[in-house]
Amino acid sequence: MHLSNGMGSMSTASSSGTWKSGDVVSDQFPAGLRVLVVDDDPTCLMILERMLRTCLYEVTKCNRAESALSLLRENKNGYDIVISDVHMPDMDGFKLLEQVGLEMDLPVIMMSADDGKSVVMKGVTHGACDYLIKPVRIEALKNIWQHVVRKKKNERKDVEQSGSVEEGDRQQKPSEDADYSSSANEGSWKNSKRRKDEEEETDERDDSSTLKKPRVVWSVELHQQFVGAVNQLGIDKAVPKKILELMNVPGLTRENVASHLQKYRLYLRRLSGVSQHQNNLSNPFMSPQEASFGAMSSLNGLDLQTLAVTGQLPAQSLATLQAAGLGRSTGKSGIPMPLVDQRNLFSFENPKQQHMSSSKPMNLLHGVPTTMEAKQLANLHQSAQTLGAANMQVNAHGVQNSSLLMPVPQSQPRGQILNESSGNHVPRHSSSVGQPIISNGMGNGVLGRNGIVDSGRGVGYNPVHQNSSMLNYPLNNSSQLPGNNFTLGSTPVMSSLASKGAFPEDVTSDIKRSSGFMPSYDMFNELQQPKSNEWDLQNVGLTFDVSQHTHSIHGSLDPSVLVHQGFSSSQRGGQSRNPSIVGKTMFSVGEGSHFGNMQNTGHHLNGRIVDNTVRIKAETVPDATSQTSFFHEQYGQDDLMSALLKQQDGLGPAETEFDFDGYSLDNIPV
């Protein structure tokens, strides 16, 4: 139509490489913005085209979603933004939205005459960057270029961050980093960003006229390579440049790797259930862990714990890992989630909401504890080292590992926490697994108090709640624990761990990763040292029945919930934390002779031993079944050991045995 006449010349003029990615924007910008409009309604299509042309954009019309997709695929860099209708006969607009986001990662604006809240919400959840209500006014279209700029900006920032952040990362708490994408990070990375900007601008642009560089689709193989490279280097040392070299994929740029690494990290964080960032990173890591765990039975527990605690890997993964490691099926905990699943989880593409994966981890721990106990203990010692290694692996996978590792027995204060946990199950992680691990009470902050008594629930010991708070809790009381200082503070833990000899590095790394998951590690180490054997056993016992508390071990341990739940859940969730139950989490769960409970929990603990340390205060944990791992923080290792031992006997009267208020993982049914 003649409409194009006038615009035609303009568009051509404006389209010639005016839009530069990044900061450099041509004078004509936003003129020349290449828009693809998809709508089955010809009237709307025509009107939109006209309006967009009036805004000086370059418009391409499409009345079918399929043809739009093929257009986009043929010309990967041919468009800057896509506007799509919601209701279309051949394909749902949201589906198209997802596809475009996955394959081309372009900003997509949805539009519809339907302004119902649910529809708009759907747009948001599917990743639309904006939603327009029909009739669309030209004013609304005038500003769509902001989405393009924003996206580019974030992308660049990601890249920079992942690249330059490496160092920064180490120093900062993961939690802070967690929000890579958030604007909060911007401040910290400003300098590097600026630096990077310059480099990137030149690098990025393959052809100056395109807005974005060619998109790299991270296929499964490519991703596997990536993960392999990252694992090889170690998650902390994984720098885009090195990863790129290791991967040795032609055509892949450092920026591609950097941004992918960024996402990967977020993913891991999520998985580990670090409360800080709960992205549901699935625990793909878990699967690999399993293998490694096998070797490290004890480690598994720990790892799992850590992981569980840290994050996504809630009890389940831990349990699984543990189980895997220990070689025993997480029977108890029934770690439902096979590690493998976790693997799947990890795909950036996948909805990050994979809490589920985290739940899996819980199981791991869960299962582990029980059987592990005996073996674990012994293994733990050794595994400690292996664990360290395992951790690494785990870590590699991402946060998950950390969570797992930190078997911080989340013994939830039975009485108190248990209730909560049982009730709450770590609601947070709806991810089925009740990954208590994370919830292991380590619940950021909550841990401190009650005791992260991990009533054996799958609280993936990860006392390391993402928040360092976790560490605080047990540690406070850790006076008893000689080594354990359950200093939640991840760092401190690490050191203690290191001293222990147990996976020192790993722990640290895990801890780091899990951002806070340290405590468990620490505990574990401590435990290990003194009575590793016993402890292990104990821990094992602590591994609360993951199955039971599955819910609690939600990957996304809610800090508060975690604490309570954490433990119970972790225990349930299959916190199968290995005996490495760093569970020294001594939670002063309550005073009380909950041993009885402990015992119960012990059963559940299935290897949640990690929580052994957690002294379960005499809280009368009503929920006996789940918790078992009341780790009383104060519980010194000795106490724990004895408690554990006692428990092993059959969850003997914990109360009597333990002087401490809490129960040590005596209940851990070995």
Only segment of 15-23, 110-118, 325-333, 554-562 that touches other proteins (CB under 8 A)? 110-118
Two structure tokens written together for 477: 């009381």
> Which residues share a beta bridge with 605?
544
121 binds other proteins (CB under 8 A): no
Alpha-carbon torsion 597, 601, 602, 608, what sign? negative
Two structure tokens written together for 522: 């620490």
CA distance 300 to 376: 9
CA distance 200 to 62: 33
List b or e across 171-198, with b for residues whose CB sees 16 or more CB atoms inside 10 angstroms: ebbbbbbbbbbeeebbeebeebbeebbe
The tally of CA atoms less than 13 A away on the side-chain side of residue 529 is 22
Applying CB under 8 A, which of residues 25, 26, 47, 482 lies at the interface with other proteins? 47
**Distance of closest approach, residue 142 Cβ to other proteins, in angstroms:** 13
**Distance of closest approach, residue 5 Cβ to other proteins, in angstroms:** 6
**Distance of closest approach, residue 137 Cβ to other proteins, in angstroms:** 6
> Which residues share a beta bridge with 111?
85, 132
User: Which distant-in-sequence residues (6+ apart) come within 8 Å of 46 by Cβ?
Assistant: none
Applying CB under 8 A, which of residues 17, 28, 46, 120 lies at the interface with other proteins? 46
Only segment of 1-9, 271-279, 330-338, 540-548 that touches other proteins (CB under 8 A)? 1-9
**Distance of closest approach, residue 86 Cβ to other proteins, in angstroms:** 8
Instruction: Indicate the residue among 138 and 220 with the shorter CB distance to other proteins.
Output: 138
List b or e across 432-455, with b for residues whose CB sees 16 or more CB atoms inside 10 angstroms: bbbbbbbbbbbbbbbbbbbbbbbb
13 binds other proteins (CB under 8 A): no
Instruction: Indicate the residue among 92 and 186 with the shorter CB distance to other proteins.
Output: 92
Applying CB under 8 A, which of residues 61, 64, 76, 134 lies at the interface with other proteins? 134
Applying CB under 8 A, which of residues 23, 24, 87, 194 lies at the interface with other proteins? 87
242 binds other proteins (CB under 8 A): no
**Distance of closest approach, residue 116 Cβ to other proteins, in angstroms:** 10
Instruction: Indicate the residue among 85 and 204 with the shorter CB distance to other proteins.
Output: 85
Instruction: Indicate the residue among 87 and 150 with the shorter CB distance to other proteins.
Output: 87
280 binds other proteins (CB under 8 A): no
CA distance 625 to 620: 12
User: Which distant-in-sequence residues (6+ apart) come within 8 Å of 495 by Cβ?
Assistant: 508
120 binds other proteins (CB under 8 A): no
CA distance 186 to 211: 22
Instruction: Indicate the residue among 65 and 372 with the shorter CB distance to other proteins.
Output: 65
Applying CB under 8 A, which of residues 58, 80, 85, 536 lies at the interface with other proteins? 85
90 binds other proteins (CB under 8 A): no
| Phi-psi region at 607: left, alpha or beta (left = phi > 0; alpha = psi -120 to 50) | left
Applying CB under 8 A, which of residues 13, 102, 124, 138 lies at the interface with other proteins? 138
Residue 312 DSSP code:
S
Applying CB under 8 A, which of residues 35, 38, 51, 227 lies at the interface with other proteins? 51
5 binds other proteins (CB under 8 A): yes
118 binds other proteins (CB under 8 A): no
DSSP alpha helix (H) spans, 90-137: 93-99, 117-126
Binding site for other proteins (CB under 8 A): 1-3, 5-7, 40-44, 46-47, 50-51, 54, 85, 87, 112-114, 134-138
